[in-house]
Structures are given as C-alpha cells and as structure tokens.
Amino acid sequence: MINLEQLGVHLPQGYLFQNITVQINKGDKIGLAGKNGAGKSTLLKLISGKDQPSEGKIHRPKDLSIGYLTQDIKIDTELSVFEFLNQSNELLTRLKNRLDEINHDLVVRTDYESDSYMEMLNELSDLNHEFNLHEGFLWEEKIASTLKGLGFSDAEFDKKIAEFSGGWKMRAELSRILVNQPDIILLDEPTNHLDIISISWLENYLQKFEGAVIVISHDRLFLDNVTKRTLEISQGKLLDFPYGYSKYKIARAEESERMGEAKKQQEKDIKHTKELIDKFRAKKNKASFAQSLIKKLDKTEIIEVDNVTSSGMKMSFPLSVQPGKWVLEMHNMGKTYGERTLFKDINITVGRGEKIALLGANGVGKSTLIKRVMNKVEGEGIVNYGHNVQITYFAQDQAEDLDITKTIYETVDDIAVGDIRKDLRSILGAFLFTGEDVDKKVAVLSGGERTRLALCILLLSPSNFLILDEPTNHLDILSKDVLKSALINYEGTFIVVSHDREFLEGLTNRIWDIENQGLKIHHFGVQEFLQRKMELSEGNKPSLSEKKIEKTPTPIVEVKIEKTLSFDEQKEIKRKKNQLNTLVKKAEDSISRLEATIKVMDQQIVNLDYTNESESAKLLSNYDKAKKELDQEMENWEQATEELMNIKD
C-alpha cells in the first residue's frame, strides 16, 4: 500500500535517519518505537505527506486516503463538534447538497413531461444510489456513535469546537478521522488526552478497523492490544519486528545481547588487526600485507549497540520528615462553575502511607479536586493538612513553568541543596539525560524531555505527600518504569491522577472515583475497577458488588396450575418455589448484614494507620473477605430470583 524507499532526513547536526526502506500493507497494525528524539513523529509526517524527506521516495497509491492525528492539534472553527464531523466528508457533503437541490427543484417545477425533468429524476436516482453506497444514510448515526465512544455527551454535540479545551479538540479531530474511515490511520500519542473508558473504546475500534494503522504511544498496554508489528528507529536505522510491543521488547533485548557479543568480538579483531599493521607496515616484504589490512579495516562496518534496557536507572523520592497519623482532611468539599457542579459534599480523611489513584472520565473534576486540595482554586468546603505535612505538587502543565533560557544542568543545579548536589549527574541520568545532553537549553527540548526534567526537579524536593496530576503524559515507557519504581518504594503518601492502566496496576492501595458529582472509594485493583466500569458503560448489568438490592418483599409467584399438570407435578412446583423463596430471603438477610459490616470497615480504613503493618494487613484481609462474601451472596440472590421468575407454572 505504501513503500518507503531509501528514505532519509538530514538536519544541521547530521542525519536523523537514512536508508529507510519498508513496506506498509493493508491491515497492518504497527507500533512505531524508539527513544525520544529518534524521529518517530518526523517519520509519521513524511508518510502523511505533511513533510518531504531529504532523500529517498515515498510511493503511495493516488487514491489513498490518510487520517493523521498529530500532538499539536490546531482547529480554528466556530462549528459545533457535530457539524465539524458532519461537514468533514467532501463526497457525502457534495452528494447531499446536490440531492437537496434536486428535491427542491422537483417540488417547485411543474414541467413534469419535459426531458430536463426526466433527466433530473434519473440524476436523483443515481445520486441516491451513490449516497447509499457510501453509507450516507448512516452518516449521522456513525458520527454520534464515534463521538460518544470518545467521551462526548449528547449535550456537547451542539457545543462549538472553539469552546473545548485542547484535549477535547484532539478527541474531536480523532473522531473526524475515525468516522471517515481512511485507508491508513497515523496516530501520534492518541491516548494522552483520553480517559480510561475512551482508550478501551479506541482499542476495540482499531482492532476491528480493516485499514492500516501506525501508532506512536507510550502506553504499553494500548500497543499490546492494538499492534501486531513493531518498527523501531534506532541509531538512524529502521528495525522491523513481526510482533506487538511486549514480544518485540523481548526479541529486541535478545538481539541487543547478540550484537553486544558480536561487538566485543569485533573490537578484539580490530585490535589484533591494528597490532598486525603496526608490526608489518615498516617491513618491506610485509608492507603490501599491511596495506591490505588497512583497507580491510577501513571497510569494516563498526557494530553499534543501542542500550534498550532500563537497567541501572534507579531513583527514589526523598522523605522529608514523618507526618502525623493523618495527612489530609476534606470537609464538605465542592466545586461549581456556573450552573455546572463538578463534585459536592466530599468528606474524607487521608491517612499516612496511603497510595491513592484518582480516576474518572475527563471533565468530571479530577484536576479541579487536586487544585482544591492545593488551595489553587476556590470552592466550597475546608481543607486541613496534618502535622508536619510537606506537599510536593506536580501539575499537568508543570513543564511549561521551566525557564527556557537555562540548560538542563543549570535547571536542577538551581534547585538542589545539600549533599544531593554531588549526585546531580547521576540523577539526570536516571531521567535519560546523559553526557552532553545536560548542556542542552530547555528551549530545544521536546515535550517529553521537558516533562522528565520537571519530574527530576520533583525528585530534588523532599516531601512526605506527593500529589501528581498526569505525571506520565509525554514520558517514554522506560521513564514511566523508573517513575513507577520510585513511587512503589516511596515511604510517604501520594495521590496520582493517571489514565495509564499499566502504570497504575499494582501501584496503589485504593481508588478514588469521581462519579455523579460524588467521590467513591474502591479497594480492588485497577484492572477489576476498569472491567466493572466498562460493563456499566456498555449498558451491561451492574457488577455484583455495585448492585443495589431493592428492599421490597420477595416476589411470591402465584401458582397457576395448568390442567395438563398432574398432582405430583403441581406439588413439585410448589416445593421448588418455596425452596427458592427461602434462598432469596436468606441471601437478602446476609446481604444486609455484610453491607452494614463493610460500611463500618470503610470508616475504619479511612482512618487506618498503614505504618502499623500487622493491624492494617488484618483489617484489609477481613475487608476483602467480607467483599467476597457479599459478591457470593449477591450471586446467590440473583440466581435464586432468576430461577424463581422462570419456573413454568
């Protein structure tokens, strides 16, 4: 479908990459990998036709349609989000406009017997056929389905694009690309501004998409779920692996190990060759032999090994002082913008040592709640900090506050105090700033590099309470692994907002979920939480622990004996119904008891001191046991009730 032939891009400092030759076929699902600055986004721009290569050719079919999502979306329009999509297909728009013209003319004209009138009828028939062939009659339905899948509500369909934030404009542009179903979709970090539910919807869409997909993403789980092939830009070359991301990483590490051994052998051979040259070049009868060795050495292609592992990259967030038993209290917290209420009546205490993931769809108020905690925005309620609490806050736009006139090293050197100043280069190395990189000006750094630098500054600020709002945006996968490891080993308390499912899994011991203007607390893992949320969002029945049992009398089904039933059959039906009614009543009693127990334990967990490992482990174990019992009783109730209602009279 697309062929790249000897492609190269030359910059003032040298080649970004060169001699890239690869074929992209229909149906390929490709992940584009490589270190920050390797040229991934540049390659997408070349494939899309937005930029031209310094050398080489790109062969595309003339009628090939390409949908390209960039990181720097710029949409200047007063159209509503629905009309933005509705007018995006030129063919359907042209057909629809002409159909409207003809239908109008047919109403006002009266020359029914004329040739021109008959020609118009024939054109109308042809246009309707073509409009139907391109699914024009389903167009508005497809638009609505795509917008909803990416998180837009019905009420937002008529909202002007200009009124949306940058993240929502990106969703609108992504919706425009998907609804038009191009031959190839190019996506540059599509998950950065999507919530968890929208990411799952996009995964499902791309899995079923029949065209080709090339995606740059730092979301490992997204890559594994979508891609079947990986292209890596490494040291100016393109490597091709027939695997999704995780399998590619294994194969890449094995290849890197083999290349490392080959490089060691080559270095030995070169050393030996140089020794022979030095030994024989001065001898007349061996001079020609020495010259042949020199020519051979000049033609030798030096093996280069790119370090693709994160080994040795270690970091930890320093704990300043131990705080008191609780670090944060919120009383009647709320925030309203005009007539819109984001959240209200939030009352919660955060205990020392808690690891919290704050989740919820985009726009529900996660960042706003964090800003209320930090007293950066006004709102209802009171925020109290505990004894000795020292908060370090990382905002989504933290990287924008960096001084672009300073170098990387100067930036951290101005922040660091005390003995840690001796380890600044090692700390920068943990964030992938090595060698001469530390002398780069902040102004020339990419978005991901600036985010890493901002996190490095965070590391140099001792605290006992971290509040991190989307810290993984623009981070590469290795950097996210380093950050996650540091948070796992952090001795303080943290609240983290993130849509990266793999990053969150195993990181936290509770989940805060902003939903319906309130804050729900969950104590299960991220994957289980997402599974339950997906079930609810897809209109499936609620998961067992989320169901509410109506406190109404157990349904007693009136027995209507058909004349065809024998006395023994009637007796068996009655016995079975009595048995099921008993099971339903027993399950309801157990559910009421367990719900009361869990409610008490919820309050105990809120005030739990996690530094007392034996007590906290015991309480959490009992809590999990009670939750499992509740799930089982819910299942018993559901099964018995369903059987009761389905008994044939």
Residues 140-149, mean pLDDT to the nearest whole number: 93
Q: What is the pLDDT of residue 109?
A: 84
| Cα–Cα distance, 487 to 51 (Å, whole number) | 40
Q: In this structure, what are the phi and psi dihedrals at residue 471, rounded to the nearest 5 degrees?
A: -70, -20
Asked if residue 321 is part of any domain, the answer here is: no
412 and 556 share one domain: no
pLDDT tens digits along 386-397: 999 999 898 877
Residues 259 and 283 in one domain: yes
Rounded (10°) angle between helices 287-299 and 245-280: 160
Structure tokens at 324: 């008191």
Give the tokens for residue 358.
């704050």
How crowded is the C-beta side of 344, counted as CA atoms within 13 Å?
Answer: 6
Sign, Cα dihedral of 72, 76, 82, 87? negative
pLDDT at 223 over 90: yes
Q: What are 4's strand-pairing partners?
A: 22, 58
Return the beta strands (E) in 425-546 as ranges: 465-469, 493-497, 510-515, 518-522
Q: What is the pLDDT of residues 401-419, one digit of tens each?
A: 889 999 999 998 888 777 7
| Domain membership flag for residue 480 | yes
One domain for residues 61 and 95: no
pLDDT 10s digits, 525-582: 887 887 777 676 655 443 333 444 444 343 443 434 344 556 667 777 777 777 877 8
Q: Is residue 309 part of a domain?
A: no
Q: Which of 5-19, 252-266, 426-440, 602-616 has the lowest mean pLDDT?
A: 602-616
Confidence of residue 385 (pLDDT cuts 50, 70, 90): very high
Give the helix/strand (H/E) hosting 253.
Answer: helix 245-280
Per-residue confidence (pLDDT) for residue 176, from 0 to 100: 95
Region of poorest pLDDT, from 172-181, 304-313, 504-513, 516-525 = 304-313
The answer to whether residue 613 scores a pLDDT higher than 80 is no
Residue 368 shares a structural domain with residue 487: yes
Cβ count near 296 (within 10 Å): 11
Determine the 3-state secondary structure of 479 from DSSP: helix
Which structural domain range is residue 368 located in?
326-533
Q: What are phi and psi of 134, to 5 degrees?
A: -95, 20
485 within a domain of the structure (yes/no): yes
Do 354 and 610 meet the contact criterion of CB atoms below 8 Å apart? yes
In a domain, 538, yes or no: no
pLDDT at 537: 60
Residue 207 banded pLDDT, cuts 50, 70, 90: very high
Number of independent structural domains in the chain: 5
Shared domain check, 386 and 511: yes
364/464 same-domain check: yes
Domain boundary among 242, 268, 285: 242
C-beta neighbour count of 606 within 10 angstroms: 16
Question: What are the Cα distances from residue 343, in Å, to 260, 346, 536, 560?
Answer: 55, 7, 21, 51
> What pLDDT does 83 receive?
94
Same domain, 494 and 369: yes
Contact 522, 529 (CB under 8 A): yes
Please report, for the domain that includes residue 467, its CATH number. 3.40.50.300
Question: Is residue 351 a contact partner of residue 327, using CB atoms and an 8 Å limit?
Answer: yes
Calculate mean pLDDT across residues 257-273. 81
Q: Is 337 helix (H, G, I), strand (E, B) or coil?
A: strand
373 or 1: which leads in pLDDT: 373
Residue 71 domain flag: no
Residues 6+ apart with CB under 8 A from 161: 75, 77, 78, 79, 80, 81, 84, 169, 172
**Pair (94, 205) in one structural domain:** no
Of the residues 479, 502, 533, the one at which a domain ends: 533
Asked whether the CA dihedral 533, 536, 540, 546 is positive or negative, the reply is positive
Secondary structure letter of residue 481 according to DSSP: H
pLDDT at site 555: 42
Distance CA 119, CA 122 (A): 5
521 and 558: one domain? no
Average pLDDT value for residue range 320-349: 89
Residue 238 sits in the same domain as residue 254: no
Decide which of 280, 299, 318 is a domain's last residue.
299
Assess whether 424 and 519 both reside in one domain: yes
pLDDT band at 606 (very low <50, low <70, confident <90, very high): low
488 has a pLDDT exceeding 60:
yes
Say if residue 8's pLDDT is above 60: yes
- Tell me the percentage of the chain whose pLDDT exceeds 90: 33
What pLDDT does 607 receive? 65
Residue 286's pLDDT is what? 67
Quick one: how far is CA 408 from the chain centroid? 28
Range 514-527 average pLDDT: 85
Q: What is the mean pLDDT of the chain?
A: 83
Q: Is residue 475 part of a domain?
A: yes
Do 336 and 406 lie in a common domain?
yes
Note if the pTM is more than 0.75. no
As a whole number of Å, the CA-based R_g of the chain is 32
In a domain, 360, yes or no: yes
